[in-house]
Amino acid sequence: MKNLIVGQSGGPTSVINASLAGVYEEAKRLGYNHVYGMINGIEGLLEENIVDLDKYLADKKNLELLKRTPSSYLQTCRFKLGTYVDHPDIYEKIFDILDKYDIDSFIYIGGNDSMDTVENLSDYAIINKRRQNFIGVPKTIDNDLPITDHCPGFGSAAKYIATSIREIVRDSVCYGVKHSTVAIVEVMGRHAGWLTASAALAKSDDCEGVDAIFLPEVPLDLDKFVDKVRILAKKKPAIVIVVSEGIKTTSGEFVCEMGKDDVGVDAFGHKQLNGCADVLANLIKEKTGLKTRPIILSSLQRAAAHVASLTDLREAEKVGKHGAKLAFNGETGKMVIMKRVNNNPYKIKYSSFNNIHDIANLEKKVPLEWIDQENNYVKDELIDYIRPLIMGEVKQYYKNGVPEHLIRKD
């Protein structure tokens, strides 16, 4: 009888717990005796903050609720493990704790940094002839992990963004020609524009869509940006523009940090915490006199499980199950990846990749050839890539008017 431990790391997503549910279900099915959870990832493991998941998840209803609960059920951390050359003590401690609980397999659900941790631990185990094996299960709303076609978590965030933007567009157009407004919507994704590009999926027969999309892959020319708004304002009264939180100007400065050094202190003498939507809304107001409204979608992008994508949720579950299979088969130092076998009908194949450092240290950005010539919208290829990932709705359990969740009561 073998034992397994699973943890969650990095920023949360709407479906990261579906991966946890997948790991648990499959590990139990394969015959693992104890399936443990580490609370707060590696950070909690080092403090032996470990729970037996049977206590929480043996109940089928709980497992279904878990899949519908956003953010990390086991909580998360942003712990940088470092190399075993620098911190042999920490590595020894981790393995001692794993031995103490008689743990054979270790699964980590996370993004770039978490995959680095998986590879480091796996390397250490091989070199030091420790029995444990280590598997990575991908998650990130940013969709910036390379090698895998896409990442669980991204589809639900994209569905939330497309849905919300359709509603923002409806809200925006209702005043007609007499009251022009420019809404600037800020979307997450500091370096990769996948989420910002998802705004393009709002457009359809029954929605005008947005007027411009600016990804972080291309520097923003502020003069051209203002000109674009001026031209739009001559043609239509309600303008909706979507920008990435991480967009930089052509001179290399983050838009969100503009003017933070010498101006922009508030009543308490403290620098403003504006997002780039605020900065750009101010710019437009100043240069054109148009009424502006900054809208920052904020943390709901990674937590709005009430509008999760069914495709995304099922895939999150399946990468978790595939991870448990790899672990059971004794594989180590591998990350589960997805390959798109076909786009229409959409079909995914699950496999694994074993040069995890290649994944950990690379960010997959939106290819420049998927951005239009004017650098202010995306091409159909990009929409076709994202569309299948937002398809399908998750049946939620509602109680007292709000979606029911599963939380740990230790």
- The residues annotated with a catalytic role in the active site are 142
265 forms part of the interface with a second copy (CB under 8 A): yes
Q: Tell me: does residue 404 bind a second copy (CB under 8 A).
A: yes
**x/- binding map, residues 110-129, to a second copy, per CB under 8 A?**
--------------------
Contact partners, residue 227, CB within 8 Å, separation at least 6? none
Sheet holding 334-343, edge to edge: 50-52, 35-38, 4-8, 105-110, 133-138, 334-343, 346-353
Cβ 12 to a second copy, closest distance in Å? 5
Measured CA to CA, the distance from residue 201 to residue 71 in angstroms comes to: 24
Q: Which stretch binds a second copy (CB under 8 A): 50-58, 107-115, 187-195, 200-208?
A: 200-208
Near a second copy by CB under 8 A: residue from 140, 309, 332, 376? 309
Query: In angstroms, what is the minimal distance from the CB of 62 to a second copy?
Result: 11
Give the chain's length: 410
Report if residue 300 touches a second copy, rule: CB under 8 A. Answer: yes
Rounded distance between C-alpha atoms, residue 357 and residue 337, angstroms: 14
Does position 235 interact with a second copy (CB under 8 A)? The reply is no
Tell me, residue by residue from 318 to 357, as one string, x for binding to a second copy by CB under 8 A and - for no binding.
Answer: ----------------------------------------
Cα distance between residue 255 and residue 184, in whole Å: 13
- Taking the C-alpha atoms of residue 6 and residue 41, their distance in angstroms, rounded to an integer, is 8
| Residue 157 three-state SS | helix
- Binding segment for a second copy (CB under 8 A), chosen from 51-59, 89-97, 122-130, 279-287, is 279-287
> Counting contacts by CB under 8 A, is residue 77 touching a second copy?
yes
x/- mask, a second copy, residues 22-51, rule CB under 8 A, reads: -----------------xx--xx-------
Q: Exposed/middle/buried for 51, CB within 10 Å: 0-12, 13-18, 19+? A: middle
Best CA proximity match to 170, nearest among 240, 259, 275, 250: 240
Decide: is 6 part of the binding site for a second copy (CB under 8 A). Answer: no
Q: Of residues 203-232, which lie at the interface with a second copy (CB under 8 A)?
A: 204, 206-208
How many Å apart are CA 244 and CA 187, to the nearest integer? Answer: 5
In the list 19, 22, 72, 121, the residue contacting a second copy (rule: CB under 8 A) is: 72
Residue 262 DSSP SS3: coil
Segment 240 to 259, residues that bind a second copy, using CB under 8 A: 258-259
Q: Which of 166, 314, 318, 364 binds a second copy (CB under 8 A)?
A: 166
Backbone angles phi, psi at 353, to 5 degrees: -135, 135
Q: Of 4, 42, 197, 202, which one interacts with a second copy (CB under 8 A)?
A: 202
Residue among 243, 303, 326, 371 that touches a second copy (CB under 8 A):
303
Tokens of 204: 């359809």
* Residue 13 CB, nearest approach to a second copy (Å): 10
Phi and psi angles of residue 88, each rounded to the nearest 5 degrees, phi first:
-60, -30
Residue partners of 318: CB distance under 8 A and separation at least 6: 22, 350
Backbone torsions φ then ψ of 179, nearest 5 degrees: -135, 80
In the complex with a second copy, which residue's Cβ is closer, 234 or 395?
395
Pick one of 269, 344, 373, 410: the residue that binds a second copy (CB under 8 A).
269
